[in-house]
């Protein structure tokens, strides 16, 4: 029997598959000598597409710089793996960050007591505590078995800052007062954010300042009170809007505790010919674009008066002569 021609040939395909075990292993819990030692954790996993450590970092490796428990999650196409490890330190202590103290202050340095350890400070003393009384660098050396750990802290002493805003002051009428802070050993600022050191005030109130340096922060206050005389509203009884640059507008004013809120001007028949509730509160003598006639007018002003940390809402009025 003869086979068909298309069956006289065949193809043979050969392939192989390599299987790799997916495994995540950070190793056994470990103990290091001191905080100056580091430990590299490696979570590299075949086929992993994402890593997530306990602090949110996403690299396959993590550098341990302090004792604690460390955990990682590795995500692959077929499964999610997790592992954790605890790193301890045989000599776990820290003298703290370099610091600044006020003159006459002291600082107590301490390390944990362990009967199996030996201690030596920079001056040769062997206790677990040391009292710092002067500026310098302070070092402790601790030995335990085969482990040696050292740490150093630098301490400096400076004078505390001082601040004097001066005595409380009473003012009268339209007086102003410039507060000039006396400052030593620090940087000054106003608690309300005012920009410059010297500050000219024209209203009652309590003004607070602050001086800071690395040693301490001090504050001081000064109270300004317009109580030395009655705080009244002043208004001229005449003005001459003739363009000569002198007394051309009607303008009322008061002491620093007065805030004008509105001004109105009336003619002899009681008609309002000018009114404003926005500064500046002044009248130029015109009505509907025309200069008003010579004669007697009336003004009416509403205002706020700040007194002893309270606000009073008041009003006043009076005659006004327009002359040439």
> 237 and 194 in one domain?
no
- Do 184 and 140 belong to one domain? no
User: 91, 116, 132: which is the final residue of a domain?
Assistant: 91
Query: By three-state DSSP, how is residue 191 classified?
Result: coil
- Residue entry with tokens 């000569």: 244
CATH number of the domain that 252 lies in? 2.60.40
Residue 7 belongs to a domain: no
On whether both 194 and 266 belong to a single domain, the answer is no
Give the pLDDT score at 288. Answer: 92
Residue 214 domain flag? yes
Contacts of 57 (CB under 8 A, 6+ apart): none
Rounded CA gap, 160 and 175, in Å? 35
Alpha-carbon torsion (283, 289, 294, 297), positive or negative: negative
20 belongs to a structural domain: no
**Residue 228 pLDDT:** 57
Could you tell me if residue 60 is inside a domain? Answer: yes
Torsion angles phi and psi, residue 2, rounded to 5:
-100, 130
Per-residue pLDDT of the chain (324 residues; tens, 9 = 90+): 555 555 555 566 667 666 667 889 999 999 999 888 999 999 999 889 999 999 999 999 999 998 999 999 999 988 899 999 999 999 989 999 999 999 999 999 999 999 999 999 999 999 999 999 999 999 999 999 889 999 999 999 999 999 999 999 888 767 889 999 999 999 999 999 999 999 999 888 899 999 999 999 999 999 998 765 667 788 999 999 988 888 999 998 887 788 899 999 999 999 999 999 998 899 999 999 999 999 999 999 999 888 766 788 888 999 999 998
DSSP string, 123-162: TS--SSEEEE-SSEEEEEEEEETTEEEEEEEEEEEEPPPE
Identify whether 169 is part of a domain. Answer: yes
Q: Is residue 256 part of a domain?
A: yes
In a domain, 119, yes or no: yes
What domain range is 214 assigned to? 162-225
Pair (239, 313) in one structural domain: yes
What phi and psi, each to the nearest 5 degrees, are found at residue 198?
A: -70, 140
pLDDT of residue 80: 94
Residue 222 backbone dihedrals phi, psi, to 5 degrees: -140, 135
Say if residue 71 is in the same domain as residue 115.
no
**The CA-based dihedral angle spanning residues 117, 118, 122, 123, taken in that order and rounded to the nearest 10 degrees:** 140
Structural contact between residues 90 and 112, judged by C-beta atoms closer than 8 angstroms: no
Conformation bin of residue 256: beta by default, left when phi > 0, alpha when psi is -120 to 50: alpha
Model pLDDT, residue 229: 67
- 37-65: buried (b, 16+ CB within 10 Å) or exposed (e) per residue? beeebebebeebeebbbeeeeeeeebebe
My answer on whether 313 and 262 are in the same domain is yes
b/e 267-288 (16+ beta carbons within 10 angstroms → b): beeeeebbeeeeeebebebebe
218 and 238 together in one domain: no
Half-sphere exposure of 228 (CA within 13 A, CB side): 16
Residue ending a domain, choose from 91, 109, 142: 91
CATH number at residue 65: 2.60.40.10
Complete DSSP assignment for 38-96: -EEEE---TTEEEEEETTS--SSEEEE-SSEEEEEEEEESS-EEEEEEEEEEEE-----
Interatomic CA distance for residues 213 and 208, integer angstroms: 17
Give how many domains the chain has, as a whole number.
Answer: 4
In a domain? residue 23: no
Give the chain's largest Cα–Cα span.
142
Q: State which of 191, 225, 259 marks the end of a domain.
A: 225
Q: Would residue 136 be called left, alpha or beta, if left means φ above 0 and alpha means ψ between -120 and 50 degrees?
A: left
**Residues 186, 154 share a domain:** no
């Amino acid at each position: 029997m003869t086979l068909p021609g298309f069956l006289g040939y065949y193809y043979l395909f050969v392939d192989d598959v390599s299987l790799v075990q997916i495994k995540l292993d950070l190793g056994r819990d470990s103990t290091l000598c001191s905080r100056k030692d580091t430990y590299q954790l490696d979570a590299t996993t075949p086929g992993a597409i994402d890593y997530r450590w306990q602090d949110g970092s996403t690299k396959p490796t993590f550098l341990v710089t302090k004792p604690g428990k460390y955990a990682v999650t590795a995500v692959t196409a077929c499964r999610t793996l997790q592992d954790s490890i605890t790193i301890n330190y045989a000599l776990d202590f820290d003298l703290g960050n370099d610091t600044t103290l006020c003159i006459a202050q002291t600082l107590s340095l301490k390390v944990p007591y362990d009967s199996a350890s030996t201690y030596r400070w920079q001056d040769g003393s062997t206790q677990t505590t040391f009292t710092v009384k002067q500026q310098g660098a302070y070092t402790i050396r601790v030995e335990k078995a085969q482990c040696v750990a050292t740490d150093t802290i630098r301490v400096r002493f400076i004078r505390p800052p001082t601040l004097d805003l001066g005595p409380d002051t009473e003012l009268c009428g339209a007086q102003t007062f410039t507060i000039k802070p006396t400052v030593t050993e620090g940087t000054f600022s106003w608690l309300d954010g005012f920009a410059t050191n010297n500050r000219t005030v024209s209203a009652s109130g309590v003004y607070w300042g602050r001086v800071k340096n690395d040693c301490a922060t001090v504050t001081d206050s000064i109270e300004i009170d317009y109580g030395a005389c009655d705080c009244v509203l002043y208004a001229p009884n005449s003005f001459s809007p003739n363009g000569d640059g002198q007394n051309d507008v009607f303008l009322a004013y008061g002491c620093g505790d007065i805030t004008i809120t509105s001004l109105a001007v009336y003619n002899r028949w009681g008609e309002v010919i000018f009114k404003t509730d926005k500064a500046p509160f002044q009248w130029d003598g015109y009505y509907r674009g025309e200069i008003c006639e010579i004669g007697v007018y009336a003004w009416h002003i509403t205002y706020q008066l700040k007194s002893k940390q309270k606000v009073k809402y008041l009003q006043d009025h009076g005659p006004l002569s327009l002359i040439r």
